[in-house]
Amino acid sequence: MDPSMPSARRALLRDLFDQGINDLDVLAAIQNIPREWFVPPDLVDRAYDNTPLPIGMGQTISQPMIVAKMTSALAIEKDSRVLEVGTGSGYQTAILARLAPEVFTIERFDELSRLAMDRLASLGVTNVRSRVGDGTLGWPEAAPFDRIILTAAGPRIPPALVKQLAEGGRLVLPIESTPGVQTLYLFRKHNGELEPQSLGGCRFVRLIGEEGWSENEVR
């Protein structure tokens, strides 16, 4: 590993703190996960830039600020069961696995899922279960989940995920309301209803699946 990486990681943490990320558990997780392991070899020198980076298959590893914001909004507790839709590189998965006892993650690309799980295994992560499939349908046999996070933007909240969210649970996801306009939301489930809170604008790849966008809509 490049010896400059630890200092670059510290600089990123200072940047996140200065931008309002004050959840110490989330910052500690980011401090302990080597982001350079989750980016393509030719982008390792940019691993700690506060920006998204391509990982192949038309997908990206999210900007660290967005990872921190979404993870903080989840408010993961020591007994939280977490569902992640969109494994991608596995970086967000690794952060979740530092905070939750159980993480279930779904990826639609077999190659990305395999590479992500290899990286997690190399880090000694053993509390993540993965599958390849349509993330918009969730993981019904493992539900309910206390926390659900989507790392791709759909036109609406997938109804299957609403059903799989436990009472009192939290759902964090981006929604694309009009072409090119996306907003990050936190939803809390109370008496079976979702209470929304906007977390600001964002930009994600589109969520493909039965309860998301169709393949034709993203071409």
Query: The domain that contains 209 carries what CATH number?
Result: 3.40.50.150
* Domain-located, residue 82: yes
* Domain-located, residue 16: no
pLDDT for position 180: 87
Cross-strand partners of 98: none
The CA angle 68-83-124, to the nearest 5 degrees, is 70
E strand or H helix that includes residue 193: strand 193-202
Q: Tally the domains of the chain.
A: 1
* Domain-located, residue 19: no
Q: Are 60 and 39 in contact (CB under 8 A)?
A: no
CA atoms of 47 and 6, how far apart (whole Å):
11
Fill in the amino acid letter for 118.
D
Edge-first strand order for the sheet with 128-132 is 128-132, 102-107, 81-85, 145-150, 165-178, 181-190, 193-202
* Domain-located, residue 46: no
* Domain-located, residue 134: yes
Active site residues: 62
pLDDT for position 1: 46
Cross-strand partners of 182: 176, 202
* Domain-located, residue 107: yes
List the structure tokens of 8.
């670059």
- Quote the DSSP letter at residue 140: G
pLDDT for position 36: 95
* Domain-located, residue 153: yes
Reading the chain (219 residues) residue by residue, the pLDDT tens digits are 456 667 899 999 999 999 999 999 999 999 999 999 999 999 999 999 999 999 999 999 999 999 999 999 999 999 999 999 999 999 999 999 999 999 999 999 999 999 999 999 999 999 999 999 999 999 999 999 999 999 999 999 999 999 999 999 999 999 998 998 999 999 999 999 999 999 999 999 999 999 999 987 765
**Range(s) of the domain holding residue 67:** 54-218
* Domain-located, residue 2: no
